[in-house]
Amino acid sequence: MTDQQPELCAIRIIAENRKGVLRDIATVVARHEANILMIHQEAFDEGPMRELAELYVEYEDGDDLDAMLNDLQEIPHVKDVRPYRPFSNIYGTRVIIIGGGAQVAQVALGAVNEADRHNIRGERISVDTIPLVGERTVAQAVDAVARLPRAGILVLAGSIMGGEISKAVDRVREAGIPVIALKMAGSVPEHADLVVTDPIQAGVFAVMQVSTKAVFDINRVRGREF
């Protein structure tokens, strides 16, 4: 007999953008024994919703969803509360690809094709890409991967990467996110978990690593080149 995973739920709240509202919302959620796992907040600067903010919350547990929604709606500065399916059930685990445009496109080609094969069978794997130029710019993007919700693996696609990027790779791996690098000049390949020559194959490996059904395990090939 296996332990049942807590149900993951999500709500979207529109509220006035003022001090104390987030505290009031968190108090209601805690009172209903729900455990907040992720919060995203964004203020509206223009248009009819100016001076309002959107708060997206993912949580688990909770004793009574309807009662919690009603109590949240009773907060004076809250305008609207609606339940939604959590992002993890829609977009799933994210494969992040960073690097030069041509290489990123080829890695994405392999990743998207492989993700389609898994998703058509019920998994949820999404692919995020950003082509960037410059050591500092790429290093900042790599560091940010550890802060991205649902990021499962990072692929670095470029012709040459090293210096601050290599240090950022170490920090991402310390955060528990594996890194695949294309075979390239610079020191990044020495810091990655896996080095792959073919960019399309790198994308395939990345998706297979985050899949719950694939047999590929990066821990078994760590430090190797393909």
Q: Where are the domains of the chain?
A: 8-88, 91-220
Q: Report the interhelical angle of 135-145 vs 164-174 (nearest 10°).
A: 0
Q: What are phi and psi of 160, to 5 degrees?
A: -150, 130
What pTM does this model have? 0.83
Q: What are phi and psi of 54, to 5 degrees?
A: -105, 130
Gap between the Cα atoms of 64 and 53, Å rounded: 25
Query: CB of 114 within 8 A of CB of 146?
Result: no
CA 41 to chain centre: 16
Give me the tens of pLDDT residue by residue for the chain, a chain 226 residues long. 345 556 789 999 999 999 999 999 999 999 999 999 989 988 888 777 778 999 999 998 878 889 999 999 999 999 999 999 998 888 899 999 999 889 999 999 999 999 999 999 999 999 999 999 999 999 999 999 999 989 999 999 999 999 999 999 999 999 999 999 999 999 999 999 999 999 999 999 999 999 988 888 898 888 888 8
Residue at 216: amino acid letter: F
Given this model, what pLDDT does residue 50 score? 78
**CATH class for domain 8-88?**
alpha beta
CATH code of 91-220, in short, is 3.40.50.10550
